[in-house]
């Protein structure tokens, strides 16, 4: 079966491949599943987790080994009904946010300074400079967190958060729900972390403090954009506080 139809109802390419493979195989360990679906072993557990969250797959133990299976195909209709409900909820959230966001946009004054950063060293150097700039007891906020496929990024943040905590700088983070359990352990030091639901995830990492907003995009050639504006920080802080109420610990 062409997985295009499954992708049209909201499944990713990987989810569609794994789901169809589970239908063909029945209860299966990940080894045969990886081969049948044509996905990498490093990604199959994340894909299965997403399918389970959507109610399209489940797992069982056979001799202390996890086996995965597709739920009944008619469960797809239930999934679509749930998605429609979530879409309605998203619109309601957006409608509640709009008046405040529009007020903030209308109150923006003053000239903003903007700077672009190009490459791993340039972008990570900003994080180093930020810790140099902040004092013990200061804090910064982050919307979105992940490591993409950037070599060395996990190691960088492992050291970054260790240094941050040692200096007494506090972090408030809204991370994408799909990184829960995978953040480097030092992230939790002197911090408060909540997780955004799937429909609010972002591929960019936005941080703000004092009069600075920095947006990092963790592609193989990382990019960064710094905006120095008190009004911009005020706007992002307001947006952060709205999302904080929606996010889950």
Q: Are residues 114 and 211 in the same domain?
A: yes
Judged by phi (left if over 0) then psi (alpha if -120 to 50, else beta), residue 184 lies in: beta
Instruction: Give the model's pLDDT for residue 94.
Output: 75
Q: Which of 131, 175, 183, 182 is nearest to 157 (CA)?
A: 183
Query: Model confidence over 98-141: pLDDT tens digits?
Result: 777 667 655 555 555 788 999 999 999 999 999 999 999 999 99
Averaged pLDDT, 200-225? 89
Query: Model confidence over 73-103: pLDDT tens digits?
Result: 888 888 888 878 877 777 777 787 777 766 7
Phi, psi at residue 216, to the nearest 5°? -110, 135
Q: Please indicate, yes or no, whether the overall pTM of this predicted structure exceeds 0.85.
A: no
Q: Are residues 200 and 112 in the same domain?
A: yes
CB atoms within 10 A of CB 134: 18
- Whether residue 91 lies inside any domain: the answer is no
- Whether residue 55 lies inside any domain: the answer is yes
Q: Are residues 119 and 68 in the same domain?
A: no
Domain boundary among 20, 49, 73: 73
Q: Are residues 168 and 121 in the same domain?
A: yes
Q: Are residues 168 and 69 in the same domain?
A: no
Evaluate if residue 33 carries a pLDDT over 90: yes
> What element of type H or E holds 100?
helix 75-106
Distance CA 60, CA 27 (A): 8
Position 12 confidence tier, pLDDT thresholds 50, 70, 90: very high
Position 193 confidence tier, pLDDT thresholds 50, 70, 90: very high
Q: Are residues 136 and 213 in the same domain?
A: yes
Q: Are residues 161 and 242 in the same domain?
A: yes
- Whether residue 79 lies inside any domain: the answer is no
Domain span at residue 19?
A: 4-73
- Whether residue 92 lies inside any domain: the answer is no
Distance CA 169, CA 137 (A): 5
Distance CA 136, CA 68 (A): 48
- Whole-angstrom distance between the N-terminal and C-terminal Cα of the chain? 39
- Whether residue 173 lies inside any domain: the answer is yes
Residues whose CB is less than 8 angstroms from the CB of residue 52 and which lie 6 or more positions away in sequence, other chains included: 58, 59
Residues whose CB is less than 8 angstroms from the CB of residue 57 and which lie 6 or more positions away in sequence, other chains included: 18, 19, 22, 48, 51, 68, 69, 70, 71
Pairing type for strands 139-143 and 113-118 reads: unpaired
Distance CA 174, CA 146 (A): 11
- CATH code: domain of residue 164: 3.30.870.10
Domain boundary among 46, 73, 100: 73
- CATH code: domain of residue 43: 1.10.10.10
Q: Are residues 218 and 153 in the same domain?
A: yes
Domain boundary among 73, 96, 119: 73
- Whether residue 95 lies inside any domain: the answer is no
Domain count, the chain: 2
- Whether residue 101 lies inside any domain: the answer is no
Q: Which residue has the tokens 């557990």?
A: 45
- Whether residue 50 lies inside any domain: the answer is yes
Instruction: Give the model's pLDDT for residue 104.
Output: 66
Q: Are residues 142 and 237 in the same domain?
A: yes
DSSP state of 11: -
Position 213 confidence tier, pLDDT thresholds 50, 70, 90: very high
Q: Are residues 116 and 215 in the same domain?
A: yes
Q: Are residues 130 and 188 in the same domain?
A: yes
């Amino acid at each position: 079966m062409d997985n295009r139809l499954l992708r049209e109802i909201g499944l990713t390419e990987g989810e569609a491949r794994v789901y169809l493979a589970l239908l063909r195989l029945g209860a299966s360990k990940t080894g045969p599943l990886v081969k049948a679906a044509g996905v990498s072993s490093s990604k199959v557990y994340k894909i299965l987790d997403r399918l389970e969250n959507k109610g399209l797959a489940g797992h069982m133990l056979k001799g202390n080994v996890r086996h995965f299976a597709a739920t009944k195909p008619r469960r797809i209709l239930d999934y679509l009904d749930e998605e429609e409900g979530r879409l309605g909820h998203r619109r309601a959230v957006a409608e509640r946010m709009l008046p405040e966001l529009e007020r903030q946009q209308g109150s923006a004054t003053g000239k903003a300074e903007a700077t672009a950063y190009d490459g791993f060293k340039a972008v990570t150097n900003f994080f180093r400079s930020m810790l140099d700039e902040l004092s013990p007891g200061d804090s910064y906020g982050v919307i979105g967190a992940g490591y993409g496929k950037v070599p060395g990024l996990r190691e960088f943040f492992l050291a970054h958060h260790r240094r941050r905590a040692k200096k007494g700088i506090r972090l408030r983070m809204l991370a994408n729900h799909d990184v829960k359990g995978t953040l480097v352990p030092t992230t939790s030091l002197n911090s408060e972390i909540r997780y955004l639901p799937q429909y609010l995830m972002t591929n960019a990492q936005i941080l703000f403090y004092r009069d600075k907003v920095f947006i990092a995009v963790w592609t193989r050639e990382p990019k960064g954009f710094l905006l120095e504006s008190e009004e911009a920080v005020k706007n992002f802080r307001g947006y952060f506080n709205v999302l904080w109420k929606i996010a889950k610990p």
